Every structure is written in C-alpha cells, then in structure tokens.
Amino acid sequence: MAKTPRRDPKRDALRKANALHPHPEKVKDPLFLGGDFFDRRDLVQVKYEMLRRVRVDDTSVVDAAAAFGLSRPSYYEALGAFAEQGLLGLRPRKRGPRGAHKLAPEIVEFVRKLRSTDSTIPSAELALRIEERFEVTVHPRSIERALSRAGKAGGTTNSSAPSRRPRRSRR
C-alpha cells in the first residue's frame, strides 16, 4: 500500500497567498541553501533578500536576480513595489482578469431587456443569444452574476430560473 504524501502547511499557505516561488530550485543564494530560516519557496522572502543584497551588499542587479532565480525586470518591479508599499508590495498580485471582462455594459443591458420581457428565460438560453448577437461566448453563471450585480445597482434579477448547458463554441 502506497503512503499518502504528507501535507506541507507552509507550502499550502504560500500557495494560497499566491506567494509560492514558481521556481524555487533556481534560487542559488547560499543563505537559502542551508538551514531552515530562509525558505526559497517563499517568494516574498526571496524578493526582499534580493533587494537587500543589491542595496546593502552592493551586488549587481544581474548577479542578484540570477542568484535568487528571478529576472532583472522582476528585480525592478520588486524595487518599485517595495519603495511604494514596503514589504506588502513584494507580495505577488493575483493573476488574471479583474472583474467581469466579457460582459460589457451593452451586453448586460441586452440581457436585462430580454429578461424584462420574459423573466423565465434560462441563463443558458441567454448565453446562446449573447453569442448570436455579440459573438462572445459566456458561461450562464457569468450571466447570473452580472445580473445579480446589476440588480444590486437598481435592476431586477431572476437567478432562480432553470438553466440548461450551453453548446460549446469552436473558436
């Protein structure tokens, strides 16, 4: 019987905080190779130590970035963030889109008009109509969330309407 791998709570916490170094094996600085205080998986700690190495130890940016498994642009990005926000600036930002990016206001208005004439139209049907009219593929749940947001801003919603799976676009 194979053993279940042990959970590493620190690794899990770093991943959850989006602070897990994507390539800890590239960190070659001696401080991170021995002992347990410096953890090359901790991207915030790695960035801070890289900045300190350049500022205090007078190491070149190229050498410091290489020793900490990062690029020169990453160094300058970290330097700017640290200058603006201190240690919190070194924490990586969430990746990906911020907020609804497919459902432009005109699409939300189109959906609201459809729902105002027939509040029983399922979200999957709305997704098909959006695709036909705007040539944008949208998940029914995204439509429900957009309508909910619009409802909070003064519109009406009907998120309890039944829905069926939309057909997949081949784009």
pLDDT in tens, 85-143: 999 999 887 766 666 666 888 999 999 999 999 989 999 999 999 999 988 899 999 89
Which amino acid is residue 52, in one-letter code?
Answer: R
Which domain, by its residues, includes 48? 12-90
Please say if the pLDDT value at position 29 is more than 50. Answer: yes
State the residue for tokens 């999957």.
124
Domain boundary among 38, 55, 90: 90
Residue 42 bridge partners (DSSP): 20
Q: Residue 95's pLDDT is what? A: 67
Handedness of CA 90, 87, 21, 65 (dihedral sign): positive
Domain boundary among 90, 123, 150: 90
157 within domain boundaries? yes
Collapsed DSSP state (helix, strand, coil) of residue 157: coil
CA distance 134 to 115: 17
Domain boundary among 90, 124, 155: 90
Same domain flag for 73 and 45: yes
Same domain flag for 59 and 30: yes
Residue 20 bridge partners (DSSP): 42
Q: Could you say which DSSP state residue 156 is in?
A: -
Same domain flag for 101 and 169: yes
Lowest mean pLDDT among 14-18, 66-70, 72-76: 14-18
Tokens of 37: 């205080």
Residues in CB range of 161: below 8 A, 6 or more apart? 119, 120, 121, 122, 123
Same domain flag for 81 and 21: yes
Residues in CB range of 64: below 8 A, 6 or more apart? 50, 53, 54, 75
The total number of structural domains that make up the chain: 2
Percentage of the chain lying above the pLDDT 90 cut: 54
Same domain flag for 20 and 79: yes
Whether the pTM exceeds 0.85: the reply is no
CA dihedral angle for residue 19, residue 24, residue 29, residue 32, rounded to 10 degrees: 70
Same domain flag for 41 and 109: no
Same domain flag for 104 and 85: no
39: left (phi over 0), alpha (psi -120 to 50) or beta: beta
Tokens of 141: 């749940």
Same domain flag for 86 and 101: no
Same domain flag for 112 and 142: yes
